[in-house]
């Protein structure tokens, strides 16, 4: 009998509370819905892996280590499902690890991240509607994306275009580490006459960026900058991984891989 497994790969987080309701919640859904597969975990952030090892004595593999462990444990058919948002640098690292280990399995398939095909963007916008509050005309929602120097940073612009096309008024994406950063969207907020802003993470977990860079009390946090600019600021401190419709998306991407169409276009 073929030994089959699923490797769920995320960037990771050192915050146990958000890990439980995002990464672990998705992993548990995978276990519940794919009962014939053994589910394992890997993180792509070496910094987080090292921090958890040193601080909590928790040992988590990176993608290549996890696949090597699965080879040694006799797995023949493995599906790797990323929980990353865009097909950026971290996703490239997963692809490289999968490429290195492909010949060691009868079947090794990598699924797509949250934003990949056009259909994914439309479905993600529908999922975001579940958490965007009802608002007055002068109340905006600003999503904090991670951002990247990788060409896949353009995914955020495509998502913004589809948000606008879907008629979601005053829902704006800015990034911590890539265009458009907060200072780029500030003139747009003023031009629209915005008075109140709800900040939300456009990240799987509400980790360090959300807690400190977005919602922190330091003067360079988004909350502090926006309050200094005169806005009333509300904080929504939940990662996308808590959104059931986003969880559904990752489950569907995994189903596509198992059905033989991991990069499904239609």
Other beta carbons within 10 Å of 83: 26
pLDDT in tens, 156-184: 999 999 999 999 999 999 999 999 999 99
Give me the pLDDT at residue 264, please: 75
Give me the pLDDT at residue 263, please: 82
The C-alpha atoms of residue 134 and residue 158 are separated, in whole angstroms, by: 24
Q: Where in the chain is the domain with CATH 3.40.50.1400?
A: 4-115+242-258, 132-237
Residue 132 has pLDDT above 80, yes or no: yes
Give me the pLDDT at residue 266, please: 59
- In terms of Cβ atoms closer than 10 Å to its own Cβ (0-12, 13-18, 19+), residue 95 is middle
CATH class of the domain whose range is 132-237: alpha beta
Whole-number mean pLDDT of the chain?
97
pLDDT in tens, 221-238: 999 999 999 999 999 999
Asked if residue 198 lies in contact with residue 170, where contact means CB atoms within 8 angstroms, the answer is no
Question: Which pLDDT band holds residue 1 (cuts at 50, 70, 90)?
Answer: confident
State percent of the chain over pLDDT 90: 97
CATH numeric code, 4-115+242-258: 3.40.50.1400
Is 146 a catalytic site residue? Answer: yes
pLDDT in tens, 183-198: 999 999 999 999 999 9
Of 84, 146, 209, 253, catalytic: 146
**Of residues 22, 27, 54, the one with CA closest to residue 42:** 27
Give me the pLDDT at residue 135, please: 94
């Amino acid at each position: 009998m073929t030994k089959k497994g699923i490797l769920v790969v995320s960037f990771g987080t050192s915050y146990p509370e958000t890990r439980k309701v995002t990464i672990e919640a998705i992993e548990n859904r995978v276990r519940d819905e794919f009962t014939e597969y053994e589910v394992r975990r890997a993180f792509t952030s070496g910094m987080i892996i090292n921090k958890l090892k040193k601080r909590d004595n928790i040992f988590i593999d990176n993608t290549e280590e996890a696949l090597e462990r699965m080879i040694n444990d006799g797995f023949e058919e493995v599906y790797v499902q990323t929980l990353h948002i865009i097909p950026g640098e971290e996703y490239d690292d997963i692809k490289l690890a999968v490429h290195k280990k492909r010949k060691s399995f009868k079947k090794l398939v990598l699924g797509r991240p949250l934003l990949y095909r056009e259909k994914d963007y439309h479905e993600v916008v529908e999922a975001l509607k579940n958490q965007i509050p009802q608002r007055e005309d002068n109340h905006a929602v600003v999503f904090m994306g991670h951002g990247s120097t990788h060409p896949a940073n353009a995914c955020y612009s495509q998502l913004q275009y589809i948000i606008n096309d879907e008629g979601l008024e005053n829902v704006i994406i800015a990034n911590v580490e890539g265009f458009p950063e907060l200072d780029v969207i500030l003139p747009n907020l003023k031009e629209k006459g915005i008075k109140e802003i709800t900040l939300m993470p456009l990240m799987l977990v509400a980790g360090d960026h959300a807690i400190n860079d977005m919602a922190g009390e330091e003067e360079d946090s988004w909350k502090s900058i926006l309050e200094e600019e005169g806005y009333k600021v509300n904080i929504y401190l939940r990662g996308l991984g808590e959104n059931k419709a986003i969880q559904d998306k990752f489950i569907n991407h995994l189903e596509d891989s198992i059905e033989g169409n991991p990069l499904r276009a239609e």
